[in-house]
Amino acid sequence: MKIDILTLFPSMFEGFLTNSIIKRAIATEKVKIRIINIRDYSKDPHKKVDDYGFGGGAGMVLRVDVLYDAIQALKREDTKVILMTPQGETFHQRQASTLTQHKHIILVCGHYEGFDERILNFVDMEISIGDFILTGGEIPAMAITDSIVRLLDGVILKESRIKESFSDHLLDYPVYTKPKEFMGYPVPPVLLSGNHAEIEKFRQEKRVEKTRLKRPDLLESGVVVDGKANL
């Protein structure tokens, strides 16, 4: 898989690409990630990429022609072009899974006041990571890239993904490690029993219980019967 990220601030991604799972995924060639400076596609002698908005108003607006040239220079026939914007569809786990099916993704990071609205004619979708405003699209692009890459085959153990939060409309089950008791709080005895059938039953019941308590909205997306989600 190939992910190209268009940004005005490439240095923001240095730590992101050189640590942990993302670093290993790149090293093992599970994914190729390129950070590309939007300014490289500006025809202005000073590499200017924005200007004042027509009609007035605060802030500078990213030019549509610069963004278009950048996208077209990178785009292939099978490319998915995604704009990072608070007006987009809120990102979720199922969307991350769907995006793994694309061989090439371009993530476009905005900054300043925003994009010239006409750029929407040249992208495939808009994505938001929540109903709040950030200074730019770089952090959302990192979050989305991380969520996609970890789902690629061979990046993390498949068993780690099967019943994690949001994989089937339920949150993940609680996990414990040493010490067996801490300040009066013990590890549930069933987890120490060695009875794998009972452990699995306990974990599934806890997933439903935790979801009902913390994220009941998720249960509205799937019907849970006898501790199992029928989707």
Query: Which CATH number does the domain housing residue 81 bear?
Result: 3.40.1280.10
Tell me, yes or no, whether 156 lies in a domain: no
159 in a domain, yes or no? no
For the chain, the helix, strand and coil percentages under 3-state DSSP, each to the nearest 5: 40, 25, 40
Burial 157-179 (b: 16+ CB within 10 A, else e): eeeeeebebbbbbbbebeeeeee
CATH code, domain carrying 191: 1.10.1270.20
Q: Which of 149, 176, 200 is the last residue of a domain?
A: 149
Q: What is the pLDDT of residues 131-157, one digit of tens each?
A: 999 999 999 999 999 999 999 999 997
Report which DSSP code applies to 130.
S
* 117 touches 110 (CB < 8 A): no
What pLDDT shows up at residue 160? 64
pLDDT in tens, 57-68: 888 999 999 999
| 115 and 24 within one domain | yes
Task: Dig out the tokens for 46 from the structure.
Answer: 């000073």
Written as six digits, the tokens of 28 are 């093992």
Does one domain contain both 79 and 24? yes
State residue 158's pLDDT score: 74
Query: Domain tally for the chain?
Result: 2
Residue 155 within a domain: no
3-state secondary structure of 179: coil
Give the whole-angstrom CA distance, residue 24 versus residue 29.
8
Q: Could you say which of 114, 149, 184 is where a domain stops? A: 149
Does residue 83 register a pLDDT over 90?
A: yes
88 lies in the same domain as 194: no
Question: Can you tell me the distance from the alpha carbon of 190 to that of 207, in angstroms, rounded to the nearest whole number?
Answer: 15
Angle (CA) 7 80 111, round 5°: 25
Give residue 79's pLDDT. 98
Do 93 and 147 form a contact (C-beta atoms < 8 A)?
yes
Residue 222 pLDDT grade (very low, low, confident, very high; cuts 50, 70, 90): low
Q: What range defines the domain where residue 45 resides?
A: 2-149
Residues 26 and 88 in one domain: yes
Q: Which residues pair with 60 in a beta bridge?
A: 52
Q: What would the pLDDT profile of 162-221 be if each residue is shown by its tens digit?
A: 555 555 778 989 999 999 999 999 999 999 999 999 999 999 999 999 999 999 988 876
Burial class (CB in 10 A: 0-12, 13-18, 19+), 120: middle
Of 98-107, 114-123, 154-163, 185-194, the least confident: 154-163
**Region for residue 124 given its phi and psi (left: phi exceeds 0; alpha: psi -120 to 50; beta: otherwise):** alpha
Are 124 and 24 in a shared domain? Answer: yes
Q: Vertex 157, ends 155 and 159: CA angle to 5°?
A: 145
Of 139, 77, 137, nearest to 103 (Cα)? 77
Pairing of strands 32-37, 2-7: parallel
